[in-house]
Structure formats: C-alpha cells, structure tokens
Structure 1
Amino acid sequence: MGLLTGLLTLPLAPVRGVVWISERIRDEALRQTTDPAVIRERLEEVSDARASGDISEEEASRQEQELVRRLLASRQTDKGAGV
C-alpha cells in the first residue's frame, strides 16, 4: 500500500477494524457450534447439570437433542468437505 493510498483510506480504518472484529466473532461462534470437541464438552456439562438437579430432565433432553443434531451436522459437513 502506497503512502497516498494509505492516506486516502485512513478514514476507513475504524470500519476495517469493526469488520475484522466481526469476522473473528463469527469464526469463534461457528467453532463453538460445529467443533465436535466443544459439542461433546457441552454434552458432559448438560449431563452433570442433570445429575446435580440444576436442570430438569425435559430441559436436559432438549439440550442433548440439539447438541447431538449439531454434532451429526458437523460430521456431515466434514464428510462433504472430504475430511
């Protein structure tokens, strides 16, 4: 990037910063919802919460179903990508 280009695009620096932060947040959210290790960890947390009585059987079952759905979806995505 030349000096002139740098000076002309300087007012856009805050916008580029916001875009960069937004992309990092999106990447982390995607990782948290599709990473099998994170999903398995969350399943263990739900199981522990059920065992300690922090959540009801119905809520634990609902959360487990959603987590298993996400785990299966992430595996399908991995297979489709040739991983």
Structure 2
Amino acid sequence: MGLLGMVLGLPLAPARGVGWTLRQVLAAAEREYHAPEAVRRELVELERQLEAGLISEDEFDSREDELLDRLAGPRPGGTEG
C-alpha cells in the first residue's frame, strides 16, 4: 500500500480499532462462558438454590442439563470439550 492508500485509509482506522476490540471482547467472553471453572461455579450455585427451595427440581434438571451441555460442548477455536 502506497502513501496515497495510507492517507485515504486513515479515516477508517478508528473503525478497524473498534472492530478488533469487539472481536477480542467476544473471544474472551466465549472463553469464560465455556470455562470449566465457571460452569462448575454455576452448578454449585444451582445446587444451593435447589437445597434452599428457591427453584424446583424440574428447573434444576433443566438448568443443570444446559450447564453440562456447555461444559461438554464445542470450545472457542473449534475444539470439543
């Protein structure tokens, strides 16, 4: 890219920076969403809610299945967990 291309592309630089930042935030959020530690914490909290009578057995089963699917589901980068 020559000097003219750089000058003409300069107004787009902030948009490219914002796009890169959004991609990084999304990737970090996906890693946290699928992190085994995060899922285990949610499972512990779910069990606490069941024992405290805050949720029904059916709701517990449904949410537990969702969490276990997250734990076993595809990971960012295309790897299976």
Normalising by structure 2, report the TM-score. Answer: 0.70
1:77 pairs with 72, 76, 80, which one?
80
Query: What are the residue-to-residue correspondences of 1:1-83 with 2, within 5 Å?
Result: 5=6, 7-73=7-73, 77-78=80-81
AA matched with 2:80 = T
The count of corresponding residues between Structure 1 and Structure 2 is 77
Cα deviations across residues 23-80 of structure 1 (Å, max 9, x unaligned)?
A: 12321231133211111111111111222223222111111111112212258715xx
CA RMSD of aligned residues (A): 2.6
Q: Determine the C-alpha separation between the residues in 1 that align with 2:40 and 2:69.
A: 12
Structure 1 gap ranges (5+)? 79-83
The 2-side partners of 1:3 and 1:53 are apart by 68
After alignment, is 24-33 or 56-65 more displaced? 24-33
Using structure 1 for the length normalisation, give the TM-score: 0.68
**Between the two proteins, what is the percent identity of the paired residues?**
39
Q: Which has the higher strand share?
A: 2
